[in-house]
A and B are shown apart, each in its own frame.
Chain A
Amino acid sequence: MDKFTKLTGIAAPMPLVNIDTDMIIPKQFLKTIARTGLGKNLFDEMRYTLDGAEIPEFVLNQPAWRKAEILIAGDNFGCGSSREHAPWALLDFGIRCVISTSFADIFYNNCFKNGILPIVMPQEVVDVLMDDARKGANARQTIDLEAQTVTTSDGRVFNFEIDSHRKHCLLNGLDDIGLTMEKATSIVEFEKKAQALRPWA
């Protein structure tokens, strides 16, 4: 997993609420056995017509946001299916950070496993970031994970919360499985205890 430390990039505004993972990556693209290559189908049904032509109104098809690395999104982003193909598609497109008032639980977890930083901000801050993002490609926002800040293109700074374990893993690009395997002794102890208490499990 790539580290996430500091990012300065174009932010795309997507104010629609309840953007679900079926919208982010429709089911026909889940038939892959790889993690890569999904970026071209990110938001497929919002982004292309049935015959594959770009829909010019869609934000990521507009010249200002084609190279967006940050999404400013409406409430409850990533709801629905647990498909990790959603963060894979975002990452493959080049999105490294999503900011919203809330995220669905599984999507939120999945982001951290792929070096994407999801940031929860109150509505009034999301509104400011959304307006800033609407200015287009010259309005770059900066995300500083170490300092836990988002800075708008005109220098306004907002703090965000993140739990220390997830921050540590993102900053260092750490693999969860390796970290858990260091606790193998605790797992073995637990299994012995559970076998005595709940042998049927």
Chain B
Amino acid sequence: MTARTLYDKIWDDHLVDQAEDGTCLLYIDRHLVHEVTSPQAFEGLRMTGRKVRAPAKTIAVPDHNVPTTLDRANAATMTEDSRIQVEALDKNAKDFGINYYPVSDIRQGIVHIVGPEQGWTLPGMTVVCGDSHTATHGAFGALAHGIGTSEVEHVLATQTLIQRKAKNFKVEITGSLRPGVTAKDITLSVIGATGTAGGTGYVIEYCGQAIRELSMEGRMTVCNMAIEGGARAGLIAPDEKTFAYCMGRPHAPKGAAWEAAVAYWKTLFSDDDAHWDKVITLKGEDIAPVVTWGTSPEDVLPITGTVPSPADFHGGKVEAVQRSLDYMGLTPGMKLSDIKIDTVFIGSCTNGRIEDLRAAAAILKGKKISVKRAMVVPGSGLVRAQAEEEGLAQIFIDAGFEWRLAGCSMCLAMNPDQLAPGERCAATSNRNFEGRQGRGGRTHLLSPAMAAAAAITGHLTDVRDVM
């Protein structure tokens, strides 16, 4: 048999049908659903009299719109249109008989945190969701990617997706990371190297010693942002860390089924002589703590750098950089560590897991914030509970952070957690687009430890100086 990549293997095991022109029908093992991109899909099913083909493989949770303030049980904390979307999901979950974690359930949280936490996401699966950050689940060696609402309806009705196969892109991170450097710095540095369209048409497999040395939480952070590099999905081959994370989760297999599953999962790696259409290699030792300065995730530099000039770029990027600098209120040559911060946001499907909160709390312990506003939004109710048990919540509160309930929150600012025009935020989320966190809001992406450092000093800060 010819040598195959991990992507090739998962693809082959899910191929239902292949037409002569290369159009394929791929079987979907897990379909995650949230309130923003699903109402029109369920409405489509109703209008055509179709059912959900595999309700047991369909999991829904409201996350984008839900308030994260402690009084959210009161429906009045939501705007009318947000409330209608959440209530529509409540009703659709009930009417179509799918698995559901309502706002009142402690297991509620960001869909990409809940899936792995509950053991829905397992190695070798195909996972889709009407959300681009579905790439997160690739950390388990699952082929996972975002889809549009029409495709949500297609998967609900048929449990399959029409696809053409992407190409294979190997991203290798050799060696070990230096102190103060995290998974977030890896994933941002890769995007800095490839550009936001560098992965278009590919599925990325992240490999190498630095990836192996990451925890599952860190691997999820890396894969989460594969989409920001344009890739359809990010993958990391499963190993003992993956199996240990999955074992005992509510929806993971048990007993003999577990043994059979692990035996299969151990076959999920790229063969030595597999063909790669594109390869890049970064040295782990060379990766520094990074921040973004512009309005595209590719606008990334080590914190020790300075704001670039449009003249440093060419082609269409010249105009884009000028526009970014105007929007961000920055001048070329300015030291990144001189950029003053108003607000710090720690959370999101990129960095809202327990390890992220531990990393931030380790920097904040015994310190006070000197920014106007700082908030921690745990990725799920269970992450929140664990952080309280470990004493992390108290460290955040003592430092001056708001300690919130789970949701997407200020990552995309669909709920009331938004930036005001001109407000500058150090954010652990994934997108620094214009207006992303609120119209006129200015976003600098960074790791949880770097966000904590900025909260203490009031400006972008090299975390290695406060460790």
Contact = CB atoms under 8 A, between A and B. Distances in A.
B154 A176 contact: yes
B160 interface: yes
Given A84-B37, A181-B158, A79 B434 contact: no
B338 interface: no
A35 B146 contact: no
A80 B13 CA distance: 29
A177 B130 CA distance: 17
Contacts of B43: 33
Interface in B149-187: 149-151, 153-154, 157-160, 162, 164, 166
A82 to B, nearest CB: 4
A8 interface: no
A83 B34 CA distance: 12
A50 interface: yes
B224 interface: no
B82 interface: yes
Nearest to B17: A186
B413 interface: yes
Interface string A8-21: 00000001111010
Contacts of B124: 198, 201
A22 B200 contact: no
Given A109-B147, A198-B124, A22 B37 contact: no
B329 interface: no
A23 B433 contact: yes
Interface in A105-148: 105-106, 109-110, 113-114
Nearest to A79: B196
B366 interface: no
Given A22-B436, A31-B414, A84 B148 contact: yes
A165 B150 contact: no
B253 interface: yes
B25 A183 contact: yes
B256 to A, nearest CB: 10
Contacts of A103: 200
A177 to B, nearest CB: 5
B261 interface: yes
Contacts of A28: 414
Contact of A31 (B85, B132, B413): B85
A151 B81 CA distance: 43
B316 interface: yes
B434 A18 contact: no
Contacts of A84: 37, 40, 130, 148-150
B320 A18 contact: yes
Interface in A22-66: 22-23, 26-28, 30-35, 45, 50
B23 A165 contact: yes
Interface string B258-290: 101100100000000000000000000000000
B63 interface: no
B435 A45 contact: yes
Contacts of A82: 37, 130-132, 146-148
Given A16-B323, A31-B36, 19 more contacts: A18-B296, A27-B414, A31-B81, A33-B85, A74-B316, A75-B197, A76-B196, A84-B130, A104-B230, A106-B132, A113-B151, A163-B21, A176-B150, A176-B162, A181-B157, A186-B17, A187-B27, A197-B264, A200-B253
Interface of A: 15-18, 20, 22-23, 26-28, 30-35, 45, 50, 74-76, 79-84, 87, 102-106, 109-110, 113-114, 163-165, 176-177, 180-181, 183, 186-187, 190-191, 194, 197-201
Pick the 8 closest A-B CB pairs, nearest first: A113-B150, A200-B253, A110-B148, A31-B81, A84-B148, A82-B146, A17-B316, A33-B39
13 contacts: A17-B319, A22-B412, A31-B84, A34-B40, A50-B421, A81-B431, A83-B37, A83-B148, A104-B230, A165-B23, A177-B50, A183-B16, A201-B124
Interface of B: 13, 16-17, 19, 21-23, 25, 27, 29, 36-37, 39-40, 43, 48, 50, 53, 64-65, 79, 81-82, 84-85, 88, 122, 124-125, 130-132, 145-151, 153-154, 157-160, 162, 164, 166, 196-197, 200-201, 230, 232, 252-253, 257-258, 260-261, 264, 296, 298, 315-317, 319-320, 323, 412-414, 421, 431, 433-436, 439-440
